[in-house]
Amino acid sequence: MIYIYDILLNFNDNLYEFYEWEKNDFIYHIKKILVVKVDTELIENILYNFIKVDNNFLKLIYNKTEMFSKKNKYIKYSCLFSDGYKVIGVLFDDLGNIIKVSDLLLDEASDALNITKRCNLIKIEYNIIRSKNINNIMTRRELSIKNYLLNEFNRIYQLDDIQEFKYLYFEYFNEFCNDINIIYNKLIKSLEFINDNHFKLYDLLKLCNERV
């Protein structure tokens, strides 16, 4: 294990590529963090499953991650995992569960991969708790819009607000419908694949809700 210095990490439940980071994300400015070389199987399991590592590994990385911060200067359990081809930041809880992961900026990922070449492979004991429900088709923004619209469609349906539904239905399908059940079911079904019309509905609903 070797340290890498001065990098940015954006920890989330699922891995978001660096180009999907958003301005409201909390970005960790890391002063130093360990690079741990692992096999590709572990990398893939981290991305697609909930993982728990053994306590011995936690002891190795305890307080080894330092931030550029006056408060909470150290992260108790964190490191970078790399198989020499991909690198991810990992955040653990006190029990060894991986609770957050992060991509790296392109140049910083390249530096970490170069460091990996000088590291010895470490075999980590871990258990797969369960698989993650990950949508690999939609981008982070598309998923966010889908969840927002889903909540809004359910809210409107529960309020039995046929006028608002008729308006949204026309904006999306460019046709009229007076049956609230048909409107609801067709709008819900449309969320299987997010398109420009969903972005338009999202902007309309956000604007309306901000005025309330």
pLDDT in tens, 120-146: 999 999 999 999 877 667 788 888 899
Alpha carbons 131 and 110: distance in angstroms, whole number = 29
Measured distance CA(28)–CA(31) in Å, rounded: 9
Of residues 195, 149, 187, the one with CA closest to residue 166: 187
Long-range CB pairs of 182-186 (<8 Å, 24+ gap) are 184/153, 184/157
- By DSSP bridging, strand 28-37 and strand 74-82 are parallel
**φ, ψ for residue 124, nearest 5 deg:** -110, 130
Pick the range with the lowest mean pLDDT from 14-18, 42-46, 138-142. Answer: 138-142
pLDDT of 211 strictly over 70: no
Judge residue 181's burial from the number of C-beta atoms within 10 Å of its C-beta, 0-12 exposed, 13-18 middle, 19 or more buried. Answer: exposed
**Pick from 92, 78, 97, 96: which is nearest to 4 by CA?**
78
pLDDT in tens, 151-192: 999 999 999 999 999 999 999 999 999 999 999 999 999 998
With 80 as the cut, is the pLDDT of residue 20 above it? yes
What per-residue confidence (pLDDT) applies to 11?
96
pLDDT in tens, 103-116: 999 999 999 999 99
CA–CA–CA angle 209, 138, 91 (5° rounding): 90
- Ramachandran angles phi, psi of 189, nearest 5°: -65, -35
* Model confidence at 18: pLDDT above 80: yes
Q: What is the mean pLDDT of the chain?
A: 92
- Taking the alpha carbons at both ends of the chain, their separation in whole angstroms is 54
Round to whole Å and give the CA distance between 53 and 125: 6
Angle at which helices 140-159 and 196-211 pack, to 10 degrees?
60
User: Which residue is it, tokens 């200067």?
Assistant: 73
Confidence of residue 206 (pLDDT cuts 50, 70, 90): confident
**Count of residues making up the chain:** 212
- Whether the full predicted model's pTM is greater than 0.85, yes or no, is no
- For residue 172, give both structure tokens: 């999306």
Is residue 38 within 8 A of residue 124, CB to CB? The reply is: yes
